[in-house]
Amino acid sequence: MTTPAQIISRAFERIAPLRLAEKWDNVGPVHPLLSGRTHPWYIHRSILTPSHLWLIPLNLTEAPISRQNANRILLTIDLTSAVVEEAISTRTAAIISYHPPIFKPLSSFTLTNPLQKSLLLCTAHGISVFSPHTALDSVKGGINDWLSDIVQAAAPGSVEYVGAPKEDELGGEGRLVRFQQPVELGSLVNVIKRGLGLSAVQLGRSAHPRSDKVTSVAICAGSGGSMLLGADADVYFTGEMSHHEVLAAVASGRHVVLCGHTNTERGYLPTLAEKLRAELKDTNFGGESVEVHVSSKDRHPLDIL
């Protein structure tokens, strides 16, 4: 029996191959229990309590854990409690969580930890979890290219990789847009705000006396400090950088545009949904055609007041 996680993994080998992910990343099915594969134990959801979980032994020959009549894939940036509740309350077979819920090895699972509880609830309800993260950033047509398209609404330009290309230019780290004609910094900021649907961003102006005309923008989705510092561009455009990274950037003569970590990622989810629908158009989960939905509960954790 082919599981939802296996089907999704194959689809992502065509959309954003996991080999493009950074070495430090934790992409793919999050955990064997959450990948839909047969496992000798499972969590019985009817007796999952705030303080206890119960592991019930299964015969190794039994079918993989799965939800009956579940035919939905739910897309989110983060696997929050609200997103998990949304998945459980609908016919969701799998969650594509852009950010990996687990980055480091866990010595134990506890229901007092909200993230671990979310993972255990997914297991109890037979919901697979898959994360593409930096593979989706790097691949051509992925998140960093989407951000490049937003920037080029200010003026046409050429696009390069910030770092070296990967796998015969199947993708690469970051993007560098070089405009054909200089662009006013204020105009660029307004274009970015419109493209991301934001009312405000953070702007760090160069510490050097220089024109507000810019000719190049280095781009990285999410947290871009380590990748962008040192890039030869007038503007660094990313979700977030540390205090000292911003100081280093503006001291080196760069402007910095920060939009909030997930605000540089979430707007790509409808595009990813279309790609998945195309890949899975002839696929069934639970005897029904697969449906792909963007979570209505996924949101940036901070508000600007």
What residues pair up with 182 in beta bridges, in sequence order? none
Q: Is 35 exposed, middle or buried (0-12, 13-18, 19+ CB in 10 A)?
A: buried
Task: Give the closest residue to 227 by CA, choosing from 153, 172, 189, 178.
Answer: 172
- The binding site for a divalent metal cation comprises 99, 137, 261, 265
Residue showing tokens 């508000």: 303
Angstrom distance (rounded) from CA 253 to CA 77: 33
- The binding site comprises 99, 137, 261, 265
- DSSP states along 172-238: ESSEEEEEEEEEEHHHHHHHHHHHHT-S--EEE--SS---SEEEEEEEEEEE-HHHHTT-S-SEEEE
Angstrom distance (rounded) from CA 278 to CA 143: 18
What residues pair up with 219 in beta bridges, in sequence order? 175, 237
Contact 257, 218 (CB under 8 A): no
Contact 222, 239 (CB under 8 A): yes
